[in-house]
Amino acid sequence: MIPSRLFSARPQAVLEGVGCWMLAARMVHGPSRLLLLRASPRLLSVSCADCTKHQEPPRKQPLSEKKLKRHFVDHRRVLVRGGRGGNGVSCFHSEPRKEFGGPDGGDGGNGGHVILRVDQQVKSLSSVLSQYQGFDGEDGGRKNCFGRNGAVLYIRVPVGTLVKEGNEVLADLSRPGDKFIAAVGGAGGKGNRFFLANDNRAPTTCTPGQPGQERVLFLELKTVAHAGLVGFPNAGKSSLLRAISNARPTVASYPFTTLNPHVGIVHYEDHQQIAVADIPGIIRGAHQNRGLGLAFLRHIERCPFLLFLVDLSVPEPWTQLDDLKYELEQYDEGLSKRPYAVVANKIDLPQARARLPQLQARLGQEAIALSAATGENLEELLLRLKELHDRHVATELEHGRQPLQW
């Protein structure tokens, strides 16, 4: 009889290592003899190798839109290729007691297009890759089965993206939902069923799928907004944008230059929304590509009216307006002649308040004096901004164009 103490071993003892002993589940040469087997280390090693084989490699996590906005990109070179078409098939119908079934090779599917699509959630071209390949179409099959067409590959781009090929402008994606076919997919090949004719009852010819269109495109982003906030560095553009909208550009107590354009939305009681863009990088000689230069001057082109921000804390602030208009006019003729309003910032400083009468006299028009830091007289700016916007909407409707809506 088998002693009961032999079976009192704990179950986890078998799992503690390869060197443990376990009882055999069967008797050998009689009921009084037991066979002790050593656990095979190969079984455990094979199971571990199988686990490692089926383990997926770690993938790089995609960056969130919040992190992508830290790296503002307003131009990109992209190589796009449409998907290749599927091949046609040459085969013949086979069925019992049917000797001459005839050709039944199906056509291949068309390759997928590559399409640029405007998405309002995307703020820059930083998420656009340098190369895109469309999805290929499937090959044809027997019994006149056509291959499946390749899926359409969409590339999300921000509002205001300009698509160029060389020096030619192909598309201006300035409205939400706009699309542009960047690369056309290749046509699918023809099966031998396509070549069936009265004089050729058993064709064996089939054609391969065509390659997709390949082209190099240059994407250029021009910020779309109603009003462009134009001024020299440290004039308080970012502080003013934070004061009148929910945009949060970086501000500090020391002088520095904003490197990325920001768009803030001003909300009114009648649910009207006006987009204001903070355009950085304008200095004297910007039209000659000094400083940030042309990199951000192009963001003003789409703004129908402008807000010139003048710093009252510097001597002779009226010269800033002349310099800003000169830079805009040298970059694009007629840009400085758009409807505008002059905003005099930093009125909370004593020396700035003393220069305000001189500024009014030099300009020959009323300037909106305010303080972006304390919020003084912001209501007058908002009323003036709404007046410019309403005038622009009326002009667009008069010419039969749909005004920009946010």
Q: Is position 64 within any domain?
A: no
Residues 266 and 283 in one domain: yes
Residues 234 and 279 in one domain: yes
Residues 265 and 375 in one domain: yes
Q: Is position 406 within any domain?
A: no
Q: How many domains does the chain have?
A: 3
Min mean pLDDT across 36-40, 175-179, 323-327 is at 36-40
In which element (H, E) is residue 41 found?
A: helix 41-54
User: How many of the other CB atoms lie within 10 Å of CB of 264?
Assistant: 23
Q: Is residue 320 within 8 Å of residue 361, measured between CB atoms?
A: no
Question: Domain containing 269 — which CATH number?
Answer: 3.40.50.300
Residues 266 and 318 in one domain: yes
Question: What residues contact 120, with CB distance under 8 A and at least 6 apart?
Answer: 158, 159, 176
Q: Which of 206, 221, 236 is the last residue of a domain?
A: 221
pLDDT of residue 59: 52
pLDDT of residue 31: 43
pLDDT over 50 at 42, yes or no: no
Q: What is the pLDDT of residues 113-129, one digit of tens each?
A: 999 999 988 878 888 99
User: 3-class DSSP state for residue 311?
Assistant: strand
Percentage of residues in the chain with pLDDT exceeding 70? 76
d(CA 372, CA 349): 12
Q: Is position 60 within any domain?
A: no
Pick 388 or 399 by higher pLDDT: 388
Min mean pLDDT across 23-27, 242-246, 353-357 is at 23-27
Residues 126 and 256 in one domain: no
Q: Is position 404 within any domain?
A: no
DSSP code at position 166 = T
Q: Which of 221, 245, 279 is the last residue of a domain?
A: 221
User: 3-class DSSP state for residue 164?
Assistant: strand
Q: Which of 179, 196, 221 is the last residue of a domain?
A: 221
Residues 243 and 133 in one domain: no
Q: What is the pLDDT of residues 319-372, one digit of tens each?
A: 888 888 888 888 878 888 889 899 988 888 888 888 888 888 888 778 888 888
Question: Domain containing 206 — which CATH number?
Answer: 2.70.210.12
Q: Is position 187 within any domain?
A: yes
Min mean pLDDT across 12-26, 39-53, 366-380 is at 12-26
Confidence of residue 135 (pLDDT cuts 50, 70, 90): very high
Residues 335 and 217 in one domain: no
Q: Is position 205 within any domain?
A: yes
pLDDT of residue 295: 61
Strands (E), 184-272: 214-221, 227-230, 262-267
Q: Is residue 68 within 8 Å of residue 120, measured between CB atoms?
A: no
Q: What is the pLDDT of residues 52-93, one digit of tens each?
A: 444 545 554 554 544 544 556 778 899 999 999 999 999 988
Question: What residues contact 316, with CB distance under 8 A and at least 6 apart?
Answer: none
Residues 289 and 358 in one domain: yes
d(CA 292, CA 301): 16
Paired sense of beta strands 262-267 and 214-221, if any: unpaired
Mean of the per-residue pLDDT values of the chain: 77
Structure tokens at 353: 């308040």
Place of tokens 């109603």: 226
Cβ density class 18-28: b for 16+ within 10 Å, e for less: eeeeeeeeeee
Residue 237 belongs to what domain range?
227-398
Q: Is position 236 within any domain?
A: yes
Residues 134 and 189 in one domain: yes
Place of tokens 């050709």: 103
Pick 293 or 279 by higher pLDDT: 279
User: 3-class DSSP state for residue 323?
Assistant: helix
Confidence of residue 283 (pLDDT cuts 50, 70, 90): low
pLDDT of residue 102: 85
Residues 134 and 266 in one domain: no
Confidence of residue 278 (pLDDT cuts 50, 70, 90): confident
Pick 206 or 49 by higher pLDDT: 206
pLDDT of residue 61: 55
Q: Is position 38 within any domain?
A: yes
